[in-house]
Amino acid sequence: MIETALTDLWYGFSVALEPHNLMWVFLGVLVGNMVGVLPGLGPVATISILLPLTFGMKPVAAILMLAGIYYGSQYGGAICSILLNLPCHPPHAVTCLDGYPMTKQGRGGVALSVTVIGSFIGASFGITEMIFLAPALVSIAMKFGPSEVCSLMLLGLLAGSTLARGSPLKGVAMTVLGLIIGIVGADIETGTPRLTFGILELYDGVEIVALALGVFGIAEFMKSINQNVKFDTKYANIKLRDMWPTRTDIKQSFFPWIRGTMIGSLCALIPGTGPTIASFVSYATEKKISRTPERFGHGAIEGVACPEASTHSSVQGDFIPTMSLGIPGDTVMALLLGALMIQGIVPGPQLISQHPDIFWGLIASFWIGNIMLVVLNVPMIGLWVKLLAVPYKYLYPSALFFVCIGVYGANNDMFQVALTLIIGVFGYILLLLGFHPAPILLGFVLGPRFEENFRRAMLISRGDIWVFVDIKNHPISTVFVGLSAFLIILQIVLWLRRAKWGIRVPQVSATPSEAEG
């Protein structure tokens, strides 16, 4: 098993090291790192903007670059949290708690280097996990019939919407809304136009970039405009020589790195719990097992090392269900899956055998990309720090242009740009009403495949809905449905407890004001 994995990995490196692909990986991590540093522009918006540009590229290069943006932005996001105390990238919100106090003590450089080393350890483990686990998952998933695929998707959708941020009920509603938006267009089997309201341009459905940029671009800009987040760059003057950690720093960070990596890789395996939850859990764990928990919040190096390692191992592990089962765990994964589908590649367990260049090339590119990121972040830290000072008032108008031209470029169709605007206004209303719109994209991407498989399962079982919980003939499907039921019951129990006792689940809060105190 190890031997075949190494052979495949070797092949992957030969793909990823092709000069052409190497260039795209570099471009991806560079852009990712940049938007990670820039407060106010996230990886989701960036990937959606650049998605149309990849239509003309080879699938391998496209996916390598888009993935690079995602993990590259994680490195940049940490800089933003540690030096500016801005939790603008959710997975790095907890890093503010101890990272910023360290910066104020003049140890910001050390915090950054601990982050970079921890990130690399975490990412390496996450990649290794993917090398061995993904093929194993595939060998199980190859036996899946339509009913298993359906119940697995159900589980993925439920987990993605209930375990994410905000109210679980609203999360599920957003998923259903995403499924409904996914229906728009001609029906696959009969060709009947559905939910098009007579608009001819909607027959081909809603473009994934129009949806993503409406919700995560336009709506976010409408939310952030003139909010005047003032931040202080006076501590952010970090140079390379400030970054050398002492022997004590390394000793103090070593076990937090390992623990963070483990927590992150576990979180990656549970659908719906991505890097954000991993980082919160690992911060709480580290604080709990520490002999001096009172140091946390005042610049404890463990409070930076552990969550950062866990974020990165979870980010890499996130790719496992996406690439091996075709079930995305979060918004970014849904977008990447959308990118694959646009390239005409059917996601699912057959991906590894049908497109080994994509799968193994991607894994190899993770390592290459992470090494590039370490190189980019250590000697060039001064440059990134300068980027922090780019004000939002220059950022969003330029981003709006990229949104317009990106959506237009997807299909050379101005109608989709108008649709993006409408979705943006609607998305802003959803934000105001307390919805976290991330699951919309999950539902949108999985929707058509879910319906197709559901119809097929019903056809095979002659309309017997109980086929999904037929423990004798479909044990795997039954387990998935059981887990889904468990998730729902869990939420109801939690809700009843809250309603009865009036207590709220304690959360690690990381807003700048509270982190100050």
Partner 1 sequence: MQKLIRWWKRDYYAGALMIVLGLITAHEGSTYPIGTLNQMGPGYFPIALGVLLIFLGGLIAATATAGADSEEAALPHAEWRGWICILGGPALFILLGRTTGMLPATFACVFVAALGDRETTLKGALILASSVTVFGVILFHYLLKLPMPVLTWNGL
Rounded Cα distance between 51 and 66, Å, is 8
Rounded to a whole number of angstroms, the minimum distance from the CB of residue 503 to partner 1 is 9
Rounded Cα distance between 205 and 184, Å, is 5
By C-beta, is 374 or 400 nearer to partner 1? Answer: 400
Structure tokens at 398: 């330029």
Residue carrying structure tokens 């800089």: 79
SS3 breakdown of the chain: % helix, strand, coil, rounded to 5? 75, 0, 25
By C-beta, is 53 or 341 nearer to partner 1? Answer: 53
> With the C-alpha atoms ordered 495, 500, 503, 506, is the resulting torsion angle positive or negative?
negative
- Classify residue 92 by its DSSP letter: G
Rounded to a whole number of angstroms, the minimum distance from the CB of residue 423 to partner 1 is 12
Rounded Cα distance between 392 and 383, Å, is 18
Rounded Cα distance between 507 and 454, Å, is 38
Which of residues 17, 176, 378, 390 is near partner 1 by CB under 8 A? 176
Rounded to a whole number of angstroms, the minimum distance from the CB of residue 40 to partner 1 is 12
Rounded Cα distance between 288 and 354, Å, is 46
By C-beta, is 7 or 511 nearer to partner 1? Answer: 511
Instruction: Tell whether residue 408 is a contact of partner 1 (CB under 8 A).
Output: yes
Residue carrying structure tokens 């193994």: 360
Instruction: Tell whether residue 166 is a contact of partner 1 (CB under 8 A).
Output: yes
Span of 41-49, 119-127, 270-278, 500-508 interacting with partner 1 by CB under 8 A: 500-508
Rounded Cα distance between 281 and 329, Å, is 18
CA-derived radius of gyration, the chain: 22
By CB under 8 A, what part of segment 466-495 binds partner 1?
495
Instruction: Tell whether residue 462 is a contact of partner 1 (CB under 8 A).
Output: yes
Q: What is the 3-state secondary structure (H, E, C) of 176-222?
A: HHHHHHHHCEECCCCCCEECCCCCHHHHHCCCHHHHHHHHHHHHHHH
Instruction: Tell whether residue 2 is a contact of partner 1 (CB under 8 A).
Output: no
Span of 118-126, 128-136, 342-350, 419-427 interacting with partner 1 by CB under 8 A: 419-427
Instruction: Tell whether residue 444 is a contact of partner 1 (CB under 8 A).
Output: no
By C-beta, is 429 or 493 nearer to partner 1? Answer: 429
| Contact by Cβ (8 Å): 290, 238 | no
Instruction: Tell whether residue 465 is a contact of partner 1 (CB under 8 A).
Output: yes
Rounded to a whole number of angstroms, the minimum distance from the CB of residue 412 to partner 1 is 6
Structure tokens at 8: 């495949």
Cα dihedral: 398, 399, 403, 406 (round 10):
70
Residue carrying structure tokens 């930076």: 304
| Contact by Cβ (8 Å): 97, 303 | yes
Instruction: Tell whether residue 170 is a contact of partner 1 (CB under 8 A).
Output: yes
Q: Which residues lie below 8 Å from residue 404, measured CB to CB, with a gap of 6+? A: 417, 420
- Classify residue 400 by its DSSP letter: H
Instruction: Tell whether residue 222 is a contact of partner 1 (CB under 8 A).
Output: yes
For partner 1, how many residues bind (rule: CB under 8 A)?
67
By C-beta, is 251 or 498 nearer to partner 1? Answer: 498
Instruction: Tell whether residue 198 is a contact of partner 1 (CB under 8 A).
Output: no
By C-beta, is 295 or 455 nearer to partner 1? Answer: 455
Rounded to a whole number of angstroms, the minimum distance from the CB of residue 34 to partner 1 is 15
By C-beta, is 378 or 421 nearer to partner 1? Answer: 421
Instruction: Tell whether residue 13 is a contact of partner 1 (CB under 8 A).
Output: no
Instruction: Tell whether residue 394 is a contact of partner 1 (CB under 8 A).
Output: yes
Instruction: Tell whether residue 190 is a contact of partner 1 (CB under 8 A).
Output: yes
Which of residues 189, 232, 514, 516 is near partner 1 by CB under 8 A? 189
Residue carrying structure tokens 């190890």: 2
Interacting residue ranges for partner 1, rule: CB under 8 A: 53, 166-167, 169-170, 172-173, 176-177, 179-180, 183, 187, 189-190, 192, 194-195, 197, 218, 221-223, 225-227, 392-394, 396-398, 400-401, 403-405, 408-409, 412, 414, 417-418, 420-421, 424-425, 429-430, 432-435, 451, 454-455, 458-459, 462-463, 465, 495, 498-499, 502, 504-505
